[in-house]
Chain A
């Protein structure tokens, strides 16, 4: 288990666990940004640093989106807020990390149940990608703020992306671009909605969004 891909996978796990245990929103955004940059390097790494034009382009696009644009958007949204910059979890930080470990073990088991038909760079990819997706989902359901929910969505997206880049080798460029664009627009639309929520309610706690019931 010794190669750069493994290291990146473990890095992913660690950043996810950190996100589960962190209380500062700004730091969370920065961690997701770092995660994005590292993931942007993944396609280059998996192809042995061969500098094909389309790979480099793809990498650059991922890094600039996940590492720069999204964090910038979220930081801006955060800056305009007059609310506290704490995460405000529904489930405590310690409990979140402990649950994270349980999820990790389950994902490892799941990964062993689904053997890949093709050889992969690292046997950690499947479980770690699952774990990243699960952590993202967990963040979405266990945190109150709209910003944190968007962060959770991004983490989940990162997990899916890891899976895609690491295992699906022959993705046509068009699909890659489409996916990039979609994620970009999704975050953008969410950002605008967040802005409206902020203006309408003077806060971005989604637990206040509870008038619509039954």
Chain B
């Protein structure tokens, strides 16, 4: 049992950067380019780790401690999320709330260190990040609450292990709604199009990227790795809800989950290739929409 739990953790930590590689490769295929290697993020992290960091004289200790907290929070969160039939390392009643607010903590420090640089662009990014996350948080929490109500458990591990494909027969519409809501949360939290453009080079239009402009070397590596893990975990939640395959055969379940993960990355790539970024003014509307979907699902399940 403990081996399975550790296996879950190992898969998450090892495979997380791969996800971004697949997304970027999909986008490249759509654009008719060869694109970067699938393992580009691994190379980037490795390269950054070997470099030294540059610190501005106007920054304080917050700027240095931020990336460490960000990464450690991501690691703790990874311990909470079950994946493809594999149980989570830690699990207790109500851990879904801890999960949601772990990311809140990491966001808090990201925002603080962005403000710490004293750059006006980074402050702007921080204010956008806070605005959008306030709106996406209820969507995630209410969506999870709907699943919790349906399964009757409030621990992530029990919740996900009690789901299986028959939910589609019993509460299909509600699960579609939650699925869409969490997909939007996924896109928002990982700063993907149509909410944010990770490839933009114009500070004015950035949200997440602008906040980490001043980081370099190992700090940037930690932030990148933390972000990759976060994307992996939200993806795990999404496929845990939408395609809960629980056959009993551990190997089969893991490979199915891996397959769906890759599929999810391709879908994200397709979304990013086929949509334009929303106007900043319209992002709150989309997020309110996601919250609405979650509430609707909750209402349907409560009824």
Contact = CB atoms under 8 A, between A and B. Distances in A.
Complex A–B touching at CB under 8 A:
yes
A104 B296 contact: yes
B170 interface: yes
Interface of B is mostly: helix
Most B Cβ at <10 Å: residue of A14, A100, A123 = A14
B299 interface: yes
A97 interface: yes
A196 B159 CA distance: 60
A98 interface: yes
Given A10-B300, A123-B303, A21 B173 contact: no
A97 B289 contact: yes
A88 to B, nearest CB: 16
A33 interface: no
Given A17-B292, A21-B289, A93-B285, A6 B299 contact: no
A124 B171 CA distance: 13
A98 B285 CA distance: 11
Contact of A21 (B169, B285, B299): B285
A14 B285 contact: no
A13 interface: yes
A28 B296 CA distance: 21
A13 B303 CA distance: 15
Contacts of A124: 300, 303
B284 interface: yes
Nearest to B172: A2
Interface string A90-128: 000110011011001100100000000000000110000
Contact of A105 (B172, B288, B289, B299): B299
Interface residues on B, range: 10 to 19
Given A1-B171, A1-B173, A17-B292, A94 B300 contact: no
A93 B285 CA distance: 8
B295 interface: yes
B289 A104 contact: no
B177 interface: yes
Nearest to B282: A23
Interface in B259-303: 284-285, 288-289, 292-293, 295-296, 299-300, 303
Given A14-B293, A17-B289, A108-B299, 11 more contacts: A1-B171, A1-B174, A10-B177, A10-B300, A21-B285, A21-B288, A21-B289, A93-B285, A94-B284, A97-B292, A105-B299
27 contacts: A1-B300, A1-B303, A2-B172, A6-B173, A7-B172, A10-B173, A10-B177, A10-B296, A10-B300, A14-B296, A17-B289, A17-B292, A18-B289, A21-B288, A21-B289, A93-B285, A94-B284, A94-B288, A98-B288, A100-B292, A101-B292, A101-B296, A104-B296, A105-B299, A108-B303, A123-B303, A124-B303
